[in-house]
């Protein structure tokens, strides 16, 4: 076994131990754990606000993206005492609760990256009210043979539907194959009404674009070349890969917030494969873009809505 190389780094006045920076996590690209840590440090001031106060699940790849990986909810034993956590009751057989990491600062982010936690999965709610998500999520999953154009067309139709009922939808690449569209909400609704709302909107869009969409949860029954509109990703304990999080895929792509104008360009683009288009933002270049365009999901872009007025409009507009 190779000798473990450890060094102590200081991040925002916290001392922490970083091991094996040279460990290759992306064999085809040659990117190492050091590259992952450097990216997460650089992007921390944009990423941490999206993680703040949310229970976090780590997806760890100790032997790189081609090796075995595992999901970790419970904070690892031996985590530094300054790592924030939250206890959530659990129905699992062997434990009454899970103590999740809550990443509210750069040192915690570096701690996670050092565990080769390439992908971070966050709850849709925050600890102040874990039963009330602060956004609704639509996961747009391109099915076999679906082109970038089709995917973008569906995303734009979804944007139009949400805008016409008075909401402010935001969009990003998932970093992998699809896109995420979210609607910021005041954190006052339970999971169930949010799910119902997402289903209403998804079904409405599916009626408008029957050839390009599927709501079929069963993969065997999905038509090829369609976009699967997944509205069931909201629920207690369900997670999303937040903006700027890295994916365990070739080229080390990251989830990137987009302006709707960019999605319009995608709709006109000749690129066939969404994955090709979305892997242009990687841990090597994403920070430059984020610093230039800013976080397109923050500040004036993040406008929480309420469901009652949206439903009222939807009833009038889509009722018949």
Partner 1 sequence: MAHAIWSGAINFGLVTIPVKLFTAIRSSDLSFNMLHEKDEGRIKYERVCSVDGKEVPWDEIVKGYEFEKGQYVTLRDEDFDRVSPEITQTCNILEFVDLAHINPMFFDKPYYLEPTKTGRHAYALFREALASSNRVAIARVVMRSKEYIAAVKPIGEALVLQMMHWADEIVETSTLDLPTEEQLPQPEMKMAKMLIDTMTVEAFEPAKFKNVYREELMKIIDARIAGKELPMPAKKAVSREKVVNLMDVLAASLEEKKKEAGAAAPAAKTSTRRRKSSAA
Burial 288-307 (b: 16+ CB within 10 A, else e): eebeeeebbbeeeebeebeb
Exactly one of 210, 235, 294, 299 binds partner 1 (CB under 8 A); that residue is: 210
Given a contact cutoff of 8 angstroms between Cβ atoms, the answer to whether 133 and 124 are in contact is yes
Exactly one of 32, 63, 74, 84 binds partner 1 (CB under 8 A); that residue is: 84
User: Rounded to the nearest whole angstrom, what is the least distance from the CB of residue 222 to partner 1 in the complex?
Assistant: 7
Given a contact cutoff of 8 angstroms between Cβ atoms, the answer to whether 182 and 138 are in contact is yes
The half-sphere exposure of 277 on its side-chain side, counting CA atoms within 13 A, is 24
Return the number of the residue (197 or 244) whose C-beta is nearest partner 1.
197
265, burial (CB in 10 Å: exposed 0-12, middle 13-18, buried 19+): middle
Is 186 among the residues that bind partner 1 (CB under 8 A)? no
CA distance 10 to 170: 35
Exactly one of 58, 109, 155, 314 binds partner 1 (CB under 8 A); that residue is: 314
How many C-beta atoms lie closer than 10 Å to residue 15's C-beta? 11
The CA angle 243-309-306, to the nearest 5 degrees, is: 35
CA distance 32 to 24: 4
User: Rounded to the nearest whole angstrom, what is the least distance from the CB of residue 86 to partner 1 in the complex?
Assistant: 5
Return the number of the residue (104 or 269) whose C-beta is nearest partner 1.
104
Burial 28-53 (b: 16+ CB within 10 A, else e): ebebbbbbbbbbbbbbbebbbbbbeb
CA distance 75 to 97: 12
How many residues touch partner 1 under the rule CB under 8 A: the total is 54
Is 72 among the residues that bind partner 1 (CB under 8 A)? no
Is 30 among the residues that bind partner 1 (CB under 8 A)? no
Is 16 among the residues that bind partner 1 (CB under 8 A)? no
Single out the segment in contact with partner 1 by CB under 8 A; choices: 58-66, 115-123, 283-291, 305-313. Answer: 305-313
User: Rounded to the nearest whole angstrom, what is the least distance from the CB of residue 127 to partner 1 in the complex?
Assistant: 5
Is 189 among the residues that bind partner 1 (CB under 8 A)? yes
Exactly one of 22, 218, 261, 300 binds partner 1 (CB under 8 A); that residue is: 218
Given a contact cutoff of 8 angstroms between Cβ atoms, the answer to whether 107 and 82 are in contact is yes
User: Rounded to the nearest whole angstrom, what is the least distance from the CB of residue 66 to partner 1 in the complex?
Assistant: 19
Is 24 among the residues that bind partner 1 (CB under 8 A)? no
Is 215 among the residues that bind partner 1 (CB under 8 A)? yes
Is 2 among the residues that bind partner 1 (CB under 8 A)? no
Is 77 among the residues that bind partner 1 (CB under 8 A)? yes
CA distance 196 to 68: 36
Is 221 among the residues that bind partner 1 (CB under 8 A)? yes
Exactly one of 11, 37, 47, 75 binds partner 1 (CB under 8 A); that residue is: 75
Binding pattern to partner 1, positions 86-115, x when CB under 8 A?
xxxx-x-x--x-----x-x-----------
DSSP helix/strand/coil, 137: strand
Q: Which residues bind partner 1 (CB under 8 A)?
A: 53, 75, 77-89, 91, 93, 96, 102, 104, 127-131, 189-190, 192-193, 196-197, 199-200, 203-204, 206-207, 210, 214-216, 218, 220-223, 307-308, 311, 314-315, 318-320
């Amino acid at each position: 076994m190779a000798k473990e190389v450890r060094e102590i780094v200081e991040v925002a006045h916290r001392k922490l131990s970083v091991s094996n920076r040279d460990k290759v996590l992306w064999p085809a690209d040659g990117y190492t754990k050091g590259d992952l840590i450097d990216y997460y440090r650089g992007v921390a001031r944009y990423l941490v606000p999206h993680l703040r106060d949310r229970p976090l699940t780590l997806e760890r790849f100790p032997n790189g993206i081609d090796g075995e990986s595992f999901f970790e909810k419970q904070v690892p034993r031996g985590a530094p005492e300054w790592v924030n956590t939250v206890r959530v009751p659990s129905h699992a057989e062997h434990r009454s609760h899970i103590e999740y990491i809550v990443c509210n600062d750069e040192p915690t982010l570096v701690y996670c990256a050092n565990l080769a936690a390439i992908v971070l999965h966050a709850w849709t709610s925050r600890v102040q009210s874990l039963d009330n998500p602060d956004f609704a999520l639509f996961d747009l999953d391109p099915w076999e043979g679906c082109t970038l154009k089709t995917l973008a067309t569906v995303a734009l139709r979804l944007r139009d539907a949400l805008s016409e009922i008075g909401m402010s939808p935001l969009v990003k690449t998932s970093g992998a194959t699809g896109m995420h569209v979210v609607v910021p909400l005041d954190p006052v609704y339970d999971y169930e009404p949010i799910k119902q709302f997402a289903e209403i909107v998804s079904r409405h869009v599916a009626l408008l674009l029957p050839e390009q969409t599927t709501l079929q949860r069963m993969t065997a029954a999905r038509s090829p070349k369609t976009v699967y509109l997944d509205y069931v990703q909201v629920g207690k304990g369900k997670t999303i890969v937040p903006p700027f999080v890295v994916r365990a895929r070739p080229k080390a792509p990251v989830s990137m917030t987009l302006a709707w104008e960019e999605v319009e360009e995608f709709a006109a683009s000749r690129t066939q494969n969404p994955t090709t288009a979305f892997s242009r933002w990687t841990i090597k270049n994403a920070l430059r873009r984020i610093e230039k365009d800013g976080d397109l999901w923050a500040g004036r872009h993040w406008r929480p809505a309420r469901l009652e007025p949206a439903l009222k409009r939807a009833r009038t507009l889509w009722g018949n």
